[in-house]
Amino acid sequence: MQINVEKESNPIFKNYLPIAEAISKTFGSSCEVVVHDLTDMSSSIVAIYNGHVTGREVGSPMTDLGLKILRNCGDEDLHLNYRNESVKGKKIKSSSILIRDDSGSVVGSLCINIDITSLTMAASSLHEMVNINEENKEESFPQSVTELEKRLIDRAVEKIGKPIDLMAKNERLEFIRLLDDMGLFLIKGTVHNIAKLLDVSKFTVYSYIEKKL
């Protein structure tokens, strides 16, 4: 168990800490429970229980799928039973619950990640317990913001199908659209980084974002 002492006293997150601890202790060491502060994407993990499941700790950033869920959540607060895989190849079953403040703004999330590797190899009688949605949602568990940013950039480049320095203007617009849809620009400083990568000004990147809307 790891908790950010500075954020622990925040009443919004404080209410979820005993819930997270109870879930982790109920389901045991294969169940990781994380409380995220979504006002600070670069260091979002406020508390984590059984962090060995994904290898993360307090201060680690939001995941790529977490950014995408936040970018497209609308009024939907529950995102249940989606499949992930850890860096070490563990099969993970995950669910996320968004946390809103009194004004209705999303400020955090409670995420449950269960290592079902051994269960998926068990007898068919366990099938119902490990049942997951078949929707293909890609997620990784980055150890740093730099790693998260690189993965999203690589994913966008792969979808465009050519290196950044060979992209035409319309392809660069699509590149920016993909990054925005994946939630990259929710992280402070990423517009500057992408501008540097494209060898343009921050204002050009902002104009690309506006054009794609």
Tens digit of pLDDT at every position of the chain (213 positions): 677 655 666 888 889 999 999 999 999 999 999 999 998 888 999 999 999 999 999 999 988 888 888 888 778 899 999 988 887 888 899 999 999 999 999 999 999 999 998 887 675 555 566 666 655 566 778 889 999 999 999 999 999 998 898 899 899 999 999 999 999 999 999 999 999 999 999 999 998 888 755
> Distances from the Cα of 61 to the Cαs of 46, 117, 160, in angstroms?
10, 24, 26
- According to DSSP, residue 163 is labeled -
Same domain, 129 and 196: no
Looking at the domain assignment, is residue 138 inside a domain? no
Q: Which domain covers residue 102, as residue numbers?
A: 2-133
Is 141 within a domain? Answer: no
Q: Is residue 94 one of the residues assigned to a domain? A: yes
SS3 content of the chain, % helix, strand, coil (to 5): 45, 20, 35
Residue 51: predicted pLDDT: 94
Which of 79, 111, 133 marks a domain boundary?
133
Find the CATH number of the domain harbouring 100: 3.30.450.20
Question: Do 123 and 32 fall within a single domain?
Answer: yes
* Alpha-helix runs per DSSP H in the chain: 5-8, 11-14, 17-27, 64-71, 117-120, 145-160, 169-181, 190-198, 202-212
Closest CA to 64 of 41, 48, 46: 41
Looking at the domain assignment, is residue 59 inside a domain?
yes
Last residue of a domain, one of 133, 159, 190: 133
Query: What is the total count of domains within the chain?
Result: 2
Distance of CA 33 to the CA centre of its chain: 14
pTM of the model: 0.71
Tell me, what's the pLDDT at 8? 60
Q: Let me know if residue 140 belongs to a domain.
A: no
Q: Is the domain of 126 the same as that of 196?
A: no
